[in-house]
Chain A
Amino acid sequence: MDLAQSGLQAERTALSWQRTALSLAVATGAWERLSHPQLGAVADAVTVVLALLIGWVFLGSRCRYHRAISQSRRPRPSSEGAPVLLALVTVVLGLGILADLALLRR
Protein backbone atom coordinates (compact mmCIF):
# COMPACT_ATOMS: atom_id res chain seq x y z
CA MET A 1 0.00 0.00 0.00
CA ASP A 2 1.33 3.39 -1.03
CA LEU A 3 1.97 5.23 2.24
CA ALA A 4 0.99 8.60 0.74
CA GLN A 5 -2.36 7.27 -0.45
CA SER A 6 -3.27 5.51 2.77
CA GLY A 7 -1.85 8.22 5.04
CA LEU A 8 -3.65 11.07 3.33
CA GLN A 9 -7.00 9.29 3.37
CA ALA A 10 -6.79 8.69 7.10
CA GLU A 11 -5.45 12.19 7.76
CA ARG A 12 -8.16 13.93 5.75
CA THR A 13 -10.81 11.92 7.55
CA ALA A 14 -9.27 12.65 10.97
CA LEU A 15 -9.22 16.37 10.12
CA SER A 16 -12.85 16.13 9.02
CA TRP A 17 -13.79 14.63 12.41
CA GLN A 18 -11.88 17.45 14.12
CA ARG A 19 -13.69 20.14 12.11
CA THR A 20 -16.95 18.46 13.07
CA ALA A 21 -15.93 18.53 16.75
CA LEU A 22 -15.35 22.30 16.42
CA SER A 23 -18.76 22.77 14.77
CA LEU A 24 -20.33 20.77 17.59
CA ALA A 25 -18.59 23.07 20.07
CA VAL A 26 -20.10 26.14 18.34
CA ALA A 27 -23.61 24.61 18.33
CA THR A 28 -23.21 23.59 21.99
CA GLY A 29 -22.15 27.14 22.89
CA ALA A 30 -25.21 28.53 21.07
CA TRP A 31 -27.52 26.11 22.89
CA GLU A 32 -25.91 26.92 26.25
CA ARG A 33 -26.43 30.67 25.77
CA LEU A 34 -30.07 30.06 24.93
CA SER A 35 -30.73 27.59 27.75
CA HIS A 36 -28.74 28.93 30.68
CA PRO A 37 -31.23 31.64 31.75
CA GLN A 38 -34.02 29.05 31.91
CA LEU A 39 -32.33 25.83 32.94
CA GLY A 40 -29.40 27.10 35.01
CA ALA A 41 -27.35 24.21 36.45
CA VAL A 42 -29.05 21.64 34.20
CA ALA A 43 -27.77 23.52 31.13
CA ASP A 44 -24.29 23.58 32.68
CA ALA A 45 -24.39 19.82 33.31
CA VAL A 46 -25.51 19.05 29.75
CA THR A 47 -22.78 21.35 28.43
CA VAL A 48 -20.14 19.45 30.43
CA VAL A 49 -21.38 16.14 28.96
CA LEU A 50 -21.31 17.62 25.44
CA ALA A 51 -17.82 19.04 26.08
CA LEU A 52 -16.61 15.55 27.02
CA LEU A 53 -18.16 14.19 23.82
CA ILE A 54 -16.48 16.93 21.78
CA GLY A 55 -13.14 16.03 23.41
CA TRP A 56 -13.72 12.36 22.58
CA VAL A 57 -14.51 13.15 18.94
CA PHE A 58 -11.47 15.45 18.63
CA LEU A 59 -8.88 13.36 20.46
CA GLY A 60 -10.33 10.01 19.35
CA SER A 61 -9.85 10.89 15.69
CA ARG A 62 -6.26 12.00 16.35
CA CYS A 63 -5.46 8.81 18.27
CA ARG A 64 -7.00 6.58 15.59
CA TYR A 65 -4.99 8.34 12.90
CA HIS A 66 -1.69 8.16 14.81
CA ARG A 67 -2.29 4.51 15.67
CA ALA A 68 -2.97 3.70 12.03
CA ILE A 69 0.20 5.37 10.74
CA SER A 70 2.45 4.09 13.56
CA GLN A 71 1.40 0.49 12.89
CA SER A 72 1.92 0.97 9.13
CA ARG A 73 -1.21 -0.99 8.33
CA ARG A 74 -4.18 -0.20 6.20
CA PRO A 75 -6.28 2.41 8.04
CA ARG A 76 -9.87 1.51 8.74
CA PRO A 77 -12.88 3.78 8.44
CA SER A 78 -14.37 4.44 11.86
CA SER A 79 -17.90 3.58 10.80
CA GLU A 80 -20.42 1.70 12.94
CA GLY A 81 -21.39 3.43 16.19
CA ALA A 82 -19.64 6.81 15.93
CA PRO A 83 -21.70 8.25 13.03
CA VAL A 84 -25.06 7.34 14.54
CA LEU A 85 -24.01 8.76 17.92
CA LEU A 86 -22.97 12.03 16.31
CA ALA A 87 -26.20 12.25 14.29
CA LEU A 88 -28.26 11.51 17.43
CA VAL A 89 -26.46 14.18 19.47
CA THR A 90 -27.14 16.70 16.67
CA VAL A 91 -30.83 15.77 16.63
CA VAL A 92 -31.09 16.06 20.44
CA LEU A 93 -29.31 19.42 20.34
CA GLY A 94 -31.80 20.62 17.71
CA LEU A 95 -34.77 19.42 19.77
CA GLY A 96 -33.26 21.19 22.82
CA ILE A 97 -33.04 24.44 20.85
CA LEU A 98 -36.66 24.06 19.67
CA ALA A 99 -37.78 23.45 23.28
CA ASP A 100 -35.86 26.56 24.43
CA LEU A 101 -37.47 28.67 21.71
CA ALA A 102 -40.93 27.42 22.71
CA LEU A 103 -40.22 28.28 26.37
CA LEU A 104 -38.91 31.73 25.41
CA ARG A 105 -42.09 32.54 23.47
CA ARG A 106 -44.31 31.86 26.45
Chain B
Amino acid sequence: MESTPQTTTPSRPGTASDDLAVPEHDQRWPGWVYAAGDDPDYRFSFANERTFLAWIRTALSLLAAGVALNHIELTISPAVQSTLTSILVLLGILCAVASWWRWARAERAMRRHERLPALPIALLLAAAVGLIGTVVLTLA
Protein backbone atom coordinates (compact mmCIF):
# COMPACT_ATOMS: atom_id res chain seq x y z
CA MET B 1 0.00 0.00 0.00
CA GLU B 2 2.78 2.41 0.93
CA SER B 3 4.58 3.74 -2.07
CA THR B 4 7.48 6.07 -2.49
CA PRO B 5 6.28 9.51 -1.35
CA GLN B 6 5.93 12.06 -4.11
CA THR B 7 7.87 15.16 -3.40
CA THR B 8 6.94 17.14 -6.48
CA THR B 9 3.95 17.23 -8.77
CA PRO B 10 4.32 18.88 -12.17
CA SER B 11 2.29 22.04 -12.43
CA ARG B 12 0.99 23.23 -15.81
CA PRO B 13 -0.08 26.86 -16.27
CA GLY B 14 -3.77 27.38 -16.81
CA THR B 15 -4.84 24.00 -15.46
CA ALA B 16 -6.49 22.80 -12.27
CA SER B 17 -3.07 21.94 -10.89
CA ASP B 18 -2.26 25.64 -10.46
CA ASP B 19 -3.15 25.40 -6.80
CA LEU B 20 -0.23 23.02 -6.31
CA ALA B 21 2.28 25.72 -7.10
CA VAL B 22 4.26 27.06 -4.13
CA PRO B 23 3.72 30.83 -3.79
CA GLU B 24 6.80 32.99 -4.21
CA HIS B 25 6.25 34.87 -0.96
CA ASP B 26 4.99 32.45 1.63
CA GLN B 27 2.64 34.40 3.91
CA ARG B 28 1.84 31.48 6.17
CA TRP B 29 2.24 31.81 9.91
CA PRO B 30 4.57 31.36 11.78
CA GLY B 31 7.23 32.88 9.57
CA TRP B 32 10.13 31.06 11.24
CA VAL B 33 8.57 27.76 10.11
CA TYR B 34 7.58 28.70 6.57
CA ALA B 35 10.20 31.32 5.66
CA ALA B 36 12.79 28.86 4.33
CA GLY B 37 12.80 25.50 2.58
CA ASP B 38 10.13 23.96 0.39
CA ASP B 39 6.82 22.25 1.09
CA PRO B 40 7.37 18.60 2.04
CA ASP B 41 5.16 15.84 0.68
CA TYR B 42 1.73 16.88 1.93
CA ARG B 43 1.25 13.45 3.53
CA PHE B 44 4.13 14.18 5.88
CA SER B 45 2.53 17.50 6.84
CA PHE B 46 -0.74 15.68 7.53
CA ALA B 47 1.10 13.10 9.66
CA ASN B 48 2.78 15.94 11.59
CA GLU B 49 -0.63 17.54 12.14
CA ARG B 50 -2.11 14.26 13.40
CA THR B 51 0.80 13.79 15.80
CA PHE B 52 0.18 17.31 17.11
CA LEU B 53 -3.50 16.45 17.61
CA ALA B 54 -2.59 13.23 19.43
CA TRP B 55 -0.42 15.26 21.85
CA ILE B 56 -3.25 17.77 22.36
CA ARG B 57 -5.61 14.89 23.19
CA THR B 58 -3.02 13.64 25.69
CA ALA B 59 -2.91 17.13 27.23
CA LEU B 60 -6.72 17.27 27.45
CA SER B 61 -6.80 13.77 28.98
CA LEU B 62 -4.27 14.85 31.62
CA LEU B 63 -6.50 17.83 32.50
CA ALA B 64 -9.56 15.56 32.74
CA ALA B 65 -7.58 13.04 34.83
CA GLY B 66 -6.55 15.85 37.20
CA VAL B 67 -10.17 16.92 37.71
CA ALA B 68 -11.23 13.30 38.19
CA LEU B 69 -8.50 12.69 40.79
CA ASN B 70 -9.65 15.79 42.65
CA HIS B 71 -13.23 14.51 42.78
CA ILE B 72 -12.85 10.88 43.84
CA GLU B 73 -12.80 9.77 47.47
CA LEU B 74 -9.40 8.38 48.41
CA THR B 75 -7.88 7.39 51.74
CA ILE B 76 -4.72 9.40 51.07
CA SER B 77 -4.33 12.77 52.74
CA PRO B 78 -6.00 15.74 50.99
CA ALA B 79 -2.62 17.45 50.67
CA VAL B 80 -1.15 14.52 48.70
CA GLN B 81 -4.31 14.25 46.58
CA SER B 82 -4.29 17.94 45.66
CA THR B 83 -0.54 17.80 44.94
CA LEU B 84 -1.03 14.88 42.55
CA THR B 85 -3.96 16.71 40.95
CA SER B 86 -1.86 19.83 40.42
CA ILE B 87 0.98 17.80 38.91
CA LEU B 88 -1.42 16.21 36.40
CA VAL B 89 -2.88 19.58 35.40
CA LEU B 90 0.56 21.18 35.13
CA LEU B 91 1.70 18.27 32.95
CA GLY B 92 -1.38 18.85 30.76
CA ILE B 93 -0.46 22.53 30.31
CA LEU B 94 3.19 21.64 29.57
CA CYS B 95 2.05 18.97 27.12
CA ALA B 96 -0.16 21.46 25.23
CA VAL B 97 2.70 23.95 24.86
CA ALA B 98 5.15 21.19 23.86
CA SER B 99 2.72 19.79 21.28
CA TRP B 100 2.64 23.01 19.28
CA TRP B 101 6.38 23.56 19.72
CA ARG B 102 7.05 20.02 18.45
CA TRP B 103 4.67 20.48 15.49
CA ALA B 104 6.35 23.76 14.42
CA ARG B 105 9.90 22.41 14.79
CA ALA B 106 9.07 19.20 12.92
CA GLU B 107 7.42 21.14 10.07
CA ARG B 108 10.45 23.45 9.89
CA ALA B 109 12.87 20.50 9.88
CA MET B 110 10.94 18.75 7.09
CA ARG B 111 10.92 21.92 4.96
CA ARG B 112 14.69 22.26 5.35
CA HIS B 113 15.42 18.55 4.92
CA GLU B 114 16.92 18.42 8.41
CA ARG B 115 16.62 15.69 11.02
CA LEU B 116 13.41 15.66 13.05
CA PRO B 117 13.70 17.12 16.57
CA ALA B 118 13.52 14.86 19.61
CA LEU B 119 10.82 15.37 22.24
CA PRO B 120 12.23 14.98 25.77
CA ILE B 121 8.80 15.64 27.35
CA ALA B 122 7.73 12.08 26.43
CA LEU B 123 10.08 10.59 29.07
CA LEU B 124 8.99 13.13 31.71
CA LEU B 125 5.34 12.43 30.96
CA ALA B 126 5.72 8.64 31.13
CA ALA B 127 7.70 8.86 34.38
CA ALA B 128 5.24 11.29 36.03
CA VAL B 129 2.10 9.37 35.02
CA GLY B 130 3.73 6.09 36.14
CA LEU B 131 4.71 7.64 39.48
CA ILE B 132 1.27 9.15 40.13
CA GLY B 133 -0.43 5.86 39.22
CA THR B 134 1.86 3.98 41.61
CA VAL B 135 1.26 6.45 44.45
CA VAL B 136 -2.53 6.28 44.03
CA LEU B 137 -2.47 2.47 43.85
CA THR B 138 -0.25 1.95 46.90
CA LEU B 139 -1.55 4.68 49.21
CA ALA B 140 -5.26 4.74 48.35
Give the interface of A toward B (CB within 8 A).
1-2, 5, 9-10, 12-13, 16-17, 19-20, 23-24, 26-27, 30-31, 33-34, 73-81, 83-84, 86-87, 90-91, 93-95, 97-98, 101, 104-105
Contacts and interface: CB of A to CB of B under 8 A. Distances in A.
Contact of A16 (B28, B54, B70, B85): B54
B53 A19 contact: yes
A90 B89 contact: no
Given A5-B43, A33-B67, 15 more contacts: A9-B43, A12-B46, A13-B49, A33-B71, A34-B70, A73-B16, A73-B17, A74-B9, A77-B42, A78-B49, A79-B45, A84-B100, A86-B53, A90-B56, A94-B93
Interface stretch (B58-66, B113-121, B122-130, B131-139): B58-66
Interface residues of B toward A: which range?
35 or more
Contacts of A23: 56-57, 60-61, 64
B30, B49, B107 interface centre (most CB from chain A within 10 Å): B49
Contact of B86 (A79, A80, A86, A98): A98
A93 B107 contact: no
B93 A95 contact: yes
Nearest to B57: A23
Interface string B87-117: 0011011001101100100010000000000
A78 B86 CA distance: 33
A83 B93 contact: no
A79 B67 contact: no
Scoring B29, B63, B85, B86 by chain A CB atoms within 10 A of each residue's CB, the highest score goes to B63
Contact of A93 (B53, B63, B85): B63
A66 B106 CA distance: 27
Given A26-B60, A79-B28, A79-B107, A90 B50 contact: no
Given A23-B60, A30-B67, A33-B67, A97 B50 contact: no
